[in-house]
Amino acid sequence: MKIGIVLYPTFGGSGVVATELGKALAKKGHEIHFITYSQPVRLGGFTENVFYHEVSVSDYPLFDFQPYETELASKMVDVVKYENLDIIHVHYAIPHASAAFMAKQILKTHGISIPYVTTLHGTDITLVGREPSFEPVITFCINASDAVTAVSQSLKEDTLKHFNVQNEISVVPNFISLEKKRSDANINRGMYASDDERIICHISNFRKVKRVEDVIRVFALTIEKVPAKLLFVGDGPERYNCEQLCRELSLCEHILFLGKIRDTSDVLAISDAFLLPSQTESFGLVALEAMSMGVPVVSSNSGGIPEVNKHGFSGFLSDVGDVQDMSKNLIHMLSNDYLEIFRSNALRQAGAFSIEKVLPMYEDIYSKLVK
**Interaction site with ligand GMT (CB under 6 A):** 12-15, 17, 92, 121-123, 126, 151, 174, 205, 209, 280-285
Between 21 and 79, CB nearer to ligand GMT: 21
Between 222 and 278, CB nearer to ligand GMT: 278
Residue 103 contacts residue 80 (beta carbons within 8 Å):
yes
DSSP string over 305-362: HHHHSPBTTTEEEE-TT-HHHHHHHHHHHHSTTTHHHHHHHHHHHHHTTBHHHHHHHH
State in angstroms the smallest separation of the CB of 319 from ligand GMT: 17
State in angstroms the smallest separation of the CB of 302 from ligand GMT: 9
Q: Which helix (H) or strand (E) holds 155?
A: helix 153-162
State in angstroms the smallest separation of the CB of 253 from ligand GMT: 29
State in angstroms the smallest separation of the CB of 63 from ligand GMT: 26
Plot region of 273 (φ>0 → left; ψ -120 to 50 → alpha; else → beta):
beta
State in angstroms the smallest separation of the CB of 108 from ligand GMT: 29
Between 209 and 361, CB nearer to ligand GMT: 209
State in angstroms the smallest separation of the CB of 352 from ligand GMT: 15
State in angstroms the smallest separation of the CB of 260 from ligand GMT: 14
Between 13 and 115, CB nearer to ligand GMT: 13
Between 33 and 210, CB nearer to ligand GMT: 210
Between 4 and 13, CB nearer to ligand GMT: 13
Between 209 and 261, CB nearer to ligand GMT: 209
Q: Which residues contact 166 (CB under 8 A, 6 or more apart)?
A: 143
Between 222 and 299, CB nearer to ligand GMT: 299
Instruction: Give CA–CA dist 284/264, Å, rounded.
Output: 15
Between 49 and 241, CB nearer to ligand GMT: 241
State in angstroms the smallest separation of the CB of 18 from ligand GMT: 9
DSSP state of 176: B
Collapsing DSSP to helix, strand or coil, 293 comes out as: coil
Residue 116 contacts residue 146 (beta carbons within 8 Å):
yes
State in angstroms the smallest separation of the CB of 142 from ligand GMT: 16
Rg from Cα positions in the chain? 21
> Which of 242, 272, 266 lies closest to 256, judged by CA?
242
Residue 350 contacts residue 175 (beta carbons within 8 Å):
no
Distinct helix (H) and strand (E) counts, the chain: 14, 13
Burial class (CB in 10 A: 0-12, 13-18, 19+), 354: middle
Between 189 and 239, CB nearer to ligand GMT: 239
State in angstroms the smallest separation of the CB of 331 from ligand GMT: 26
> Which of 217, 224, 209, 170 lies closest to 334, judged by CA?
224
Instruction: Give CA–CA dist 51/35, Å, rounded.
Output: 9
Residue 59 contacts residue 51 (beta carbons within 8 Å):
no
